[in-house]
Amino acid sequence: MNSPNNEHEPGEGVDTLPIPLSDLRRQHQALRPEIDAAIGQVLDRCDFIRGQAVQRFEAAFARTLGTPHALGVGSGTDALYLALVGLGLGPGDEVITAANSFAATAEAVVMAGGVPVFADVDDETLCLSPASVERVLTARTRALIPVHLHGRMADMEPLSALATEHGLWIVEDAAQAHGARQGEHQAGTVGQVGCFSFFPSKNLGACGDGGLIATSDPELASRVRMIRDHGRTDAHSHVLVGQCSRLDTIQAAVLLVKLPHLAAWNARRRDLARAYDQALRGCPGLRLPPLDPGAVFHHYVVRTRSRDALMAHLQARGIGCGVHYAHSIPEEPAFRPYRTAATPVSDQSCREVLSLPLFPEMTDGELLRVARAVCEFFGHGA
Ligand SMILES: *Cc1c(COP(=O)(O)O)cnc(C)c1O
């Protein structure tokens, strides 16, 4: 119960407030004056397309990645699509990717004229399994798209070795992995191209759609620069048939305000993941995600055979949770025609995964409440 003056006494009231899976309002409330000012400056200049903030954000993002070229585009899906087109993917070319991802990964391949080929994932990391990739390689394979799912990088060393051996491009789907690392490598800097999304709920999110392509290949960068803007080299010369997919200036201005906070937000996500790990260890039949130090926990995904019952238990207590993802992509009607090899690990994981609330502004008290509710479900003393 709230006290009459509406202030929460310790241990009172807050214990019954709903806990969302993620809460964008808290982040925007905290940054609101800066975001308002940044948007106001764009309105003053009216440089809505290819404006100053776009170039400034691209430069700042390139610096954090340590990559020479960062190109803002319309969305993460467009980033994947433009990367494949820019590399020169041709009709019928096969692109191997993970069976469990957001559908956009495979969508981009089809839009670019290629054929998505689904490989299975590693049972621990839920990321593309190099052994499974080897089983679906053919003479038509041109590229691999490892997905750094839930903020954890796919095992890039064996995947890079396979790519080198077979002459394949690597396009990293880093839509969930801004700032993730593996050894000295950052997500989005290992392959020919790294693709990012700034969908509002991502670790770095805009106030609308946005995406970015990172590459160290100057030729690819200049092709993508043209394709994203009607195939132009300048206002009057259309040298390629391109399209219209630019990061808009207002979104870039918002992202410039948020980028300096990314490292601290990711560190907080890791701390929360560690706290979950401590609190939930020992729940019988519950699998916790590995705690590798380079992961940035876009989602905190537990696995259990009683997923649906656990979800109902949490929802009944006002605790938001999510399923990422309910089906492997090749199980979806749109992609069934592309299903070739079986992907049993991915298919099974989709029946077991549950994302618990995790966002940088989540309080320690909220985390403990979620953990207690999970432990209660498994009859485990918290
Ligand atoms: C969000 C996401 C995308 C697509 O990004 P959009 O900006 O929504 O187009 C692609 N791949 C993965 C893994 C994603 O999570």
Q: Which atom of ligand 1 is nearest to the CA of 210?
A: 7
Instruction: Indicate the pLDDT class of residue 53, thresholds 50, 70 and 90.
Output: very high
Identify the sign of the CA torsion 190, 150, 351, 306: positive
Non-local (6+) Cβ contacts of 101 within 8 A are 147, 149, 173, 325, 329
pLDDT for 265 beyond 90: yes
Q: Using the mean position of ligand 1's atoms as its centre, give its distance from the Cα of residue 378 in Å.
A: 33
Q: Around 64, how many Cα atoms within 13 Å sit in the side-chain half-sphere?
A: 19
Instruction: Please provide the size of the chain in residues.
Output: 382
DSSP-based helix, strand, coil % in the chain, nearest 5: 45, 15, 40
Does residue 9 have a pLDDT over 90?
no
- Alpha-carbon distance of 136 to 338, in angstroms, equals 12
Residue with tokens 């995790």: 358
Instruction: Find out whether 356 and 369 touch, Cβ atoms under 8 Å.
Output: no
Q: Tell me how far apart the alpha carbons of residues 203 and 175 are, in angstroms, rounded to a whole number.
A: 9
Residue whose C-alpha is closest to residue 92's, from 69, 109, 73: 109
Q: Is 105 in the pocket of ligand 1 (CB under 6 A)?
A: yes
Q: What is the mean pLDDT of the chain?
A: 95
- Residues sharing a CB contact under 8 Å with residue 336, sequence separation 6 or more, in sequence order: 330
Per-residue pLDDT at 380 = 84
For ligand 1, say whether the CB of 104 is within 6 Å of any of its atoms: yes
- Predicted TM-score of the model (pTM): 0.95
Question: What local confidence, expressed as pLDDT, does residue 13 receive?
Answer: 55
Q: Which atom of ligand 1 is nearest to the CA of 202?
A: 1
11: pLDDT strictly greater than 90: no
CA distances from 133 to 88, 117, 120, 262 (A): 21, 9, 7, 32
Residue 100 in this model has a pLDDT that exceeds 80: yes
Q: Which atom of ligand 1 is nearest to the CA of 80?
A: 10
Residue-wise pLDDT for 142-160, tens only, equals 999 999 999 999 999 999 9
Tell me which residue of 290, 284, 286 sits closest to 270, measured CA to CA: 290
DSSP state, 357?
A: P
Q: Where are the beta strands (DSSP E) in 216-264?
A: 232-234, 237-238
Looking at residues 172-183, what average pLDDT do you find? 98
* pLDDT at residue 4 tops 70: no
Encode pLDDT of 349-362 as tens digits.
999 999 999 999 99
What six digits make up the tokens of 162?
A: 């396979």
Question: Using 50, 70 and 90 to split pLDDT, how confident is the model at 177?
Answer: very high
Strand residues in 81-152 grouped as ranges (E):
94-98, 115-119, 141-145
What are the tens digits of pLDDT across the range 295-334? Answer: 999 999 999 999 999 999 999 999 999 999 999 999 999 9
147 C-alpha to ligand 1 centroid (Å): 10
CB distance 76 to ligand 1 below 6 Å: yes
What average pLDDT does this structure show over 57-62? 98
pLDDT(120) > 60: yes
197 CA → ligand 1 middle, Å: 6
Model confidence pLDDT, tens digit, residues 203-213: 999 999 999 99
Token reading at 13? 């009231």
The CA 175 to ligand 1 mean position distance, Å, reads 5
Best of 22, 77, 80, 178 for a ligand 1 pocket test (most atoms within 8 Å of beta carbon): 77
Cβ of 100 less than 6 Å from ligand 1: no
What pLDDT is attached to residue 2?
38
DSSP annotation of 186 reads: E
* 3-class SS of residue 272: helix
